[in-house]
Amino acid sequence: MGAPLLAVLVASVLLAALARRYDVSAPLGLVVAGLAVGLIPGVPAIEMQPQLVMFVVLPPLLWSAGLESSYLALRKNVRPIGLLAVGLPLATTLVVGFVAFHTVPELTVAAALTLGAIVAPPDAVSAAAIGRRLGLPRQIMTLLGGESLLNDATALTAYKVALAAAVGAAATWQGALGTFALAALGGVVIGGLIGWLIEFIRTWLDDPLVESAIGLVAPYFVYWLAEEAHGSGVIAVVVAALLLGQRATRASYATRLQDDAVWKSIQLVLESFAFLMIGLQLPTVIDELTGIRAVTLAVASAAVLSTVIAVRIVWVYVMAYTPRMLFRGVRDREPAPTPSQVFIVAWAGMRGVVSLAAAFGVPLVTLSGDPFPGRPQLVFLTFVVVIGTLLLHGLTLPWLIRTLDVRSEAEAHQDALEQAAASSRAAQAAADRLDELLARSSDSSAQQHVGEVLQSWNDRRRNAVWERLGRSDDDIGESPASAMRRLRLEMLAAERETYIAERDAGNIDDEVLRSVLHGLDLEEAALNRE
């Protein structure tokens, strides 16, 4: 990594920190910052390297998203997710290719389809981030998350087929279908096998530090192996991550704590870097447009951008209602979506760094040695679609979510009720187990005292989840659980200050201090979760 890329990485994290501090959408802020820097005279252009995005940035982002996804929720929504992740990219490829071919004279049919495949996959990172912050219903978040996990595989496979035809390689419908089938099947098989192998190794090791380290290199290995076998690296990474995420409950608490913190940090760094790089591509894109009429570019940009947006809206609405009208089983199994929910899904079509990386990956010449037809226009139109959708959808989506009132207050309350009921059953199981152990053990005053303390603590935890469902402390005064939490946090703060003072006075070593602080930190984290 050169000094310019390192500077971009550091700047992106700092800008993301400022965005989070002032509650600004980090993706939009980073893109705008990149555009502003690109317009400053004398600032050297930093061209996006496709291999950097595809092999360094994309695998861990997919891995992190897969670990956080619910396999059960994805399986429950396999039909709508499949229509969004497979059907929509293919439809976008064809329609955008048709429009581009008729608005950009330099593009051949294959080159136009290449452009269509490049701009086909939405980057749901921004939409998901906005949705989480504003409380979108779980159903919408599941659809957007599932789409973002799998649509890259569809679009990139279509991109490979169209690009091969554009550069002069032999391409047939049979070959294209075979490429799709091999990519999908190879990705699923390799992802499943490697995911199972990683799970076996991590369980056998029983070493949280090594387990987390294996998790850091796993997405790169899975992606590379699948691509080398002519499968889909995207699908392989997603399948392996889903498998490991589903079985994460069997890992140790230390592994789960480490993985959660590590992957959240990695996700922040890579997402910030990607969005800042998008904005910084403006000088590179403009430099390639020498000698091309501005009017032609303006007409083509408007046509392609509007087509990308329109195709998604039409597709989402048609696929949301048509299956329900045609098939009774769909009506019986799936709840009817509201018009507001359908529109939010249709509007969350922001493109991202994968599209730009694919555009920059288009070769300069064909196999015959001729310049690639319309490459400068292809790169520029991709940039317009990425920036246009990010700014248009990103700026309007929060307002639309609030205006259409699709937030999930009722769902949050239902989640709290279900959590409270489950916590109550878990606390009862713990109490029964404690009674069983006390009945087996020899009777002693110490044993009896410990049992009473544990029973009281268990009752407090059981009552705490129900207390959160009632009125706030401002209405009814401080609850016993809240009082216990507040007082224990104050005690922990006093303990921490004392240990630090002992270290400063030379009475204990730094290693001893770190050990005891780790225990206090874990207890404080548990209290802040309650």
Sign of the torsion angle spanned by Cα atoms 393, 399, 405, 410: positive
Answer yes or no: CATH 1.20.1530.20 is held by domain 3-407.
Answer: yes
Read off the tokens for 138: 């779980």
Phi first, then psi, for residue 37 (nearest 5°) are: -65, -40
Q: At what angle do helices 375-404 and 353-360 cross, to 10 degrees?
A: 170
Q: Are 391 and 120 in contact (CB under 8 A)?
A: no
Least confident of 174-183, 336-345, 407-416: 407-416
**Distance linking the first and last C-alpha atoms of the chain:** 43
User: pLDDT tens across 254-266, in order?
Assistant: 777 788 888 888 9
Q: Is the pLDDT of residue 325 over 70?
A: yes
Contacts of 157 (CB under 8 A, 6+ apart): 179, 180, 183, 232
Q: How much is the pLDDT for 310?
A: 96
User: Can you give the pLDDT at residue 476?
Assistant: 46
pLDDT digits (tens, 9 = 90+) for 278-322: 888 888 888 888 778 888 889 999 999 999 999 999 999 999 888
pLDDT: which is higher, 93 or 28: 93
As a whole number of angstroms, the distance between CA 137 and CA 131 comes to 8
Q: Taking residues 124-151, what's their average pLDDT?
A: 74
Cα separation values, 524 from 125, 243, 459, 496, 528, Å: 31, 31, 20, 11, 6
Q: Is the dihedral of CA 256, 259, 262, 265 positive or negative?
A: negative
Give 223 or 509, the one with higher predicted confidence.
223
pLDDT band at 90 (very low <50, low <70, confident <90, very high): very high
Give the integer Cα–Cα distance in Å for 248 and 69.
12
Distance of CA 275 to the CA centre of its chain: 14
Q: Which residue has the higher pLDDT, 112 or 488?
A: 112
List, for residues 388-427, the tens digit of each pLDDT value: 998 898 888 888 888 887 765 555 556 666 666 666 676 6
- CB neighbour list of residue 253: distance below 8 Å, 6 or more residues apart: none
pLDDT in the model for residue 503: 83
> How much of the chain, in percent, has pLDDT values that exceed 70?
83
Q: Report, as an integer, the average pLDDT of 117-136.
A: 73
Across 27-55, average pLDDT = 84
pLDDT beyond 80 at 86: yes
In this prediction, residue 189 carries a pLDDT of 93
CA–CA distance, 2 with 9 (Å, rounded to integer): 11
Residue predicted with more confidence, 244 or 428? 244
pLDDT digits over 429-471, tens only?
777 776 777 777 666 666 666 666 667 766 666 666 665 555 4
CB atoms within 10 A of CB 414: 12
Angle at 169 between CA 53 and CA 160, to 5 degrees: 30
93 pLDDT tier (thresholds 50, 70, 90): very high
pLDDT of residue 103: 93
Task: State the pLDDT at residue 511.
Answer: 80
- The Cα–Cα gap between 440 and 437 comes to 5
d(CA 120, CA 85): 10
CA dist 305 and 156 (Å) reads 19
Two tokens at 146? 């599932």
Domain ranges of the chain: 3-407, 409-470, 484-530
Which pLDDT does position 129 carry in this prediction? 65
Residue 168: Cβ within 10 Å count? 14
Output the 3-class SS for 295-339: HHHHHHHHHHHHHHHHHHHHHHHHHHHHHHHHCHHHHHHCCCCCH
pLDDT(512) > 50: yes
Question: Does position 362 have pLDDT exceeding 50, yes or no?
Answer: yes
pLDDT band (50, 70, 90) for residue 166: confident
- Report the share of the chain in percent with pLDDT over 90: 21
Whole-number pLDDT of residue 444: 63
